[in-house]
Chain A
Amino acid sequence: QVQLQESGPGLVKPSQTLSLTCTVSGGSISSGSHFWSWIRQPAGKGLEWIGRLYTSASTNQDTSLKGRVTMSVDTSKNDFSLKLSSVTAADTAVYYCALGDSRDDAFHIWGQGALVIVSS
């Protein structure tokens, strides 16, 4: 059974870049008809889709983040990453990585989430 684990700094200063990595275990990041996504959830609020990427390196992202998002995959490490630049307090949230299935476009497996606080 594939499992996902987010990792990265829990505290980021305003205007800096948030960096998170999602490590995939129990399966290859390159196998199957999968895509890899990032989703966040501000405290007490709903879920916000950030973007998705394929191991082919093609990506989609939410344009409301105004090009601040960079996503990449490292097949040699079996992980994928998120970078969000020029962060503000509004970017404080729990960040989830998730495995999606291209056949139904749903998020089948989620990481446990990583809380990132933007504060000086």
Chain B
Amino acid sequence: DIQMTQSPSSLSASIGDRVTITCRASQSIGRNLNWYQQKPGKAPSLLIYIASSLQSGVPSRFSGSGSGTDFTLTISSLQPEDFATYYCQQSYSIPRTFGQGTKVEIK
């Protein structure tokens, strides 16, 4: 199975900050990487697919990059509604696997 490792596991940031979350795969997965946002008590929602494609309706402050084993999710200017947990997920091989999550909290 492909292991997905996110860093950091949590971070504290202020409104307006630029936030970067990293996801590393245990082997090359091309660009087969998706990002999700999950708020407490809610289902995850898709932010980014195929490493850098923005899901319809997702604000442009979110962006994704990377290929191979190293990927990043960037929030260019953190907004109050962005405080949540973020997960990466590989869609290269079965079983699909997720990172452990990165919790973004208010500083």
| A residues apposed to B, CB below 8 Å | 37, 46-49, 52, 60-64, 96, 104-108, 110-113
Contact = CB atoms under 8 A, between A and B. Distances in A.
A113 B94 CA distance: 23
Given A47-B44, A96-B43, A106-B91, 8 more contacts: A46-B100, A49-B98, A64-B1, A106-B34, A106-B89, A107-B46, A110-B44, A113-B43
A64 B3 CA distance: 14
B8 to A, nearest CB: 15
Contact of A110 (B43, B53, B89): B43
Instruction: Report, nearest first, the 7 A-B pairs whose CB atoms are least far apart.
Output: A105-B91, A106-B49, A110-B43, A49-B96, A62-B95, A106-B34, A47-B98
B45 interface: yes
Interface of B: 1, 32, 34, 36, 42-46, 49-50, 53, 55, 87, 89, 91, 94-101
Given A62-B95, A104-B50, A106-B34, A111 B100 contact: no
Contacts of A62: 95
B4 to A, nearest CB: 10
Contacts, number: 58
Given A47-B44, A110-B45, A104 B98 contact: no
A111 B42 CA distance: 9
Given A47-B44, A110-B45, A113-B43, A104 B53 contact: yes
B43 A104 contact: no
Contacts of B91: 104-106
Given A46-B87, A49-B95, A64-B95, A108 B100 contact: no
A112 to B, nearest CB: 6
Contacts of A48: 98
A64 B44 CA distance: 23
A63 B97 CA distance: 12
